[in-house]
Amino acid sequence: MTGADTSRAALRWRLLGVLVLALSAAPLARHYLVEYPQEIWQVDLQVYREGAKALVTGFPLYEMRTDAPQFLPFTYPPFAALTALPLLVLPFHGIAWAWTVLQFALLWYTVGVAFRPFTQRFGERAGLVQGMLAAGGVWLLPVAEGIRYGQVNCVIVALCLWDVTRRATVDRGGSGVGVALAAAVKLTPGVFWLHWAVARRWRTLAVSLGTVVGVTAGSFLLMPNESMVYFTDALTDPGRLGPNAGTSNQSLRGTLLRIGPAGLGGSLLWLAVVVVVLYFGLRLSRRLDALGEPVAVVAACGMLAYLVSPVSWVHHMHWIVVVLGALLGDGRDRRRVVATVVGAVLFWCRLPWWGANLLAGNAVPNGLARVVQSSYTELAVVALLALWLLIARPRRAITDREPEEPPVTLGT
């Protein structure tokens, strides 16, 4: 078979993979875009769109609220409102459908990068395998919730994954820009800056920080009043995001608000736990970086961002797609395959909501119900541990092993 024949065959398999993804995604899209009640339809996408509309009409950005019954405020940096301007091109229903298709396309991309060592084993059929994996990824709860709300997490994860994996193959120029743009829209990817600092990737850190400073300064010049309000008020008010102690907040802080002490003692406890998690998590990400595991680096930093953010909703766990790809690797290690399958099954379930229902029904002890309710916090910690045990530790043992001494031959 010639190279052209191989390329055409690979394209056919890739198109078949896209079809498999589309068939899997269709029921979810129908449920949330056709059958869902209009009063709660694509509420987060509406926030982005209304933020862009506020810029165009001159309405104060951080006084904006969406329609009843949600009345949601714009909670993102001013730069995010600028990036949302294309959402005004079409009527809202048309934009919602286009945004949903974009989310599925970015899921396809994320799966393709995160699972590449596995899919490449299938040669020209890699596109079909990629489509099958993405078809399963559609039904992971964080991904499905992103479709439900019209969320931006797929963009954030894809930008960071592109940036870090690109650095693995392109050692000069541009690296750090994707993370910077993601952090300029939603601050949590700033964890990658800590990673690059401890990994001593100074050039990447400088490019990324320079980029985010540049776009933030540009936003300030265009929107000085909105920028001042954001950095002096909106940024320091997590209450704008919603009920921080509710089940939806699966960050460390959300869990501690539900079970820990209140007031100053609770805040100090949260800060102490954050420091500990960052210390061990960044050591892990540095080790993975040194071992040449860029997908695992993104997985580790994604879990850290999820844990240490004051507010991390269920749909923010879109990083789990990258985690599963990192854990699977090329699929030849049985322990890693088992960990990936178990992880996927757990995230196909609605664990936090099961916990909330158990808590409300008093059918099990409250302690057990709380464990299930805060399952994403616990699973993020378990994911970091799995990345260490299944990737960093074995690879470190191989890397650190001293070469054997050559046999000594005695002359005659």
- Give percent above pLDDT 90 in the chain: 82
Q: For the chain, how big is the Rg over CA atoms in Å?
A: 23
Task: Give start and end residues of each alpha helix (H) in 242-350.
Answer: 252-259, 263-290, 294-308, 320-328, 334-348
What global pTM score does this model have? 0.93
Tokens, residue 297: 């680096």
Q: Please name the amino acid found at residue 30.
A: R
109-152 pLDDT, tens digit per residue, is 999 999 999 999 999 999 999 999 999 999 999 999 999 999 99
Query: 92-114 and 3-30 helices cross at what angle (nearest 10)?
Result: 130
Q: Where are the domains of the chain?
A: 8-393
Secondary structure class of 329 (helix, strand, coil): coil
Bridge partner residues of 65 (DSSP): 73
Tokens, residue 196: 């690059």
Contacts of 243 by beta carbon, 8 Å cutoff, 6+ apart: 249
Q: Which of 108-117, 166-175, 294-303 has the lowest mean pLDDT?
A: 166-175
Secondary structure class of 299 (helix, strand, coil): helix
**CA 384 to each of CA 170, 205, 306, 388: distance values in angstroms, whole numbers, following the listed order:** 27, 23, 12, 6
- Look at residues 186, 316, 312, 150 and name the one whose alpha carbon lies nearest to residue 246: 312
Is 310:302 a contact under the CB 8 Å cutoff?
Answer: no
**Residue at token pair 């992103």:** 146
How many Å apart are CA 292 and CA 287, to the nearest integer? 9
Tokens, residue 219: 């936003």
Please report the pLDDT score of residue 412 as a whole number: 31
319-357 pLDDT, tens digit per residue, is 999 999 999 999 999 999 999 999 999 999 999 999 999
176-199 pLDDT, tens digit per residue, is 999 999 999 999 999 999 999 999
Bridge partner residues of 73 (DSSP): 65
Instruction: Return the DSSP state at 121.
Output: G
How many Å apart are CA 226 and CA 78, to the nearest integer? 7
Q: Which of 4-13, 222-231, 270-279, 367-376 has the lowest mean pLDDT?
A: 4-13
By CB atoms closer than 10 A (0-12, 13-18, 19+), residue 85 is middle
Considering Cα of 193, then 197, then 200, then 204, what sign does the dihedral take?
positive
The answer to whether residue 409 scores a pLDDT higher than 50 is no
Tokens, residue 377: 């916090």
How many Å apart are CA 131 and CA 129, to the nearest integer? 5
Please report the pLDDT score of residue 17 as a whole number: 97
Tokens, residue 133: 């994996």
- Residue 399, CB-side half-sphere exposure with 13 Å CA sphere: 11
How many Å apart are CA 116 and CA 326, to the nearest integer? 10
How many Å apart are CA 391 and CA 385, to the nearest integer? 10
The answer to whether residue 169 scores a pLDDT higher than 70 is no
